[in-house]
Amino acid sequence: MPRRLEKYEKLPVYKMAQELFDLVEIIADALKENDRKEDLAAQMFSNAALIQAKIAGAEGGGLYSLRMQNAVLIKLAVHDMFNAVSFASMMEINEEDYVDLMRDKVEEFRVVFVDWIRGFDKTYDIPDNWAIRFDTSTPEQEKLEELMFDEDRFFDEFEDDDEDDIDPEDNQ
């Protein structure tokens, strides 16, 4: 029986991430035997896999700050992956020069990626107390943060329809 595709696997950004992963497979196979071959291949594969995992993670959570945290890690993984390909080319470890091909694929991914993150709901968030997205240094900003967090919407995700039928004394 064929596996059911998860919702995130149908997204253009995930499909493009799969294309990056496929290209990494080709590049890793083309690396010459060298002391650095296994390390570079592992670096490229781990970053390509991380990109897909973080897309799934961003789609699994609704809070804007958590989705953006995954987006930042995706961006870093793409850069690390590209740097590994560039390094392999500089060290002449590749049979062919894949830098331009990877650069083109990364640019295609970037365009789809930017479109994807622009669709994140900025109003659905809470302060994370790290002051990256929120500046809690002013009372005005604290007031804005209170207005941004919709507690009812947040906790609605955790409520079951049958929750009203549960008697607290039954849990003892």
| Residue spans in the chain of domains classed CATH 1.20.1440.60 | 7-118
Which amino acid is located at 159 in the chain? E
Query: Alpha-carbon distance 37 to 88, whole Å?
Result: 8
- Give residue 98's pLDDT: 86
- Give residue 107's pLDDT: 95
Instruction: Specify which of 11-20, 21-30, 58-67 reaches the highest per-range mean pLDDT.
Output: 11-20
pTM above 0.75, yes or no: no
- Tell me the mean pLDDT in the region 101-130: 89
67-93 burial: b if 16+ Cβ within 10 Å, else e: bbbbbebbeebbeebbebbeebbeeeb
CATH topology (fold) of 7-118: de novo design (two linked rop proteins) (1.20.1440)
**Nearest residue to 142 (alpha-carbon basis) of 120, 123, 126:** 126
Residue 160 has pLDDT above 70, yes or no: no
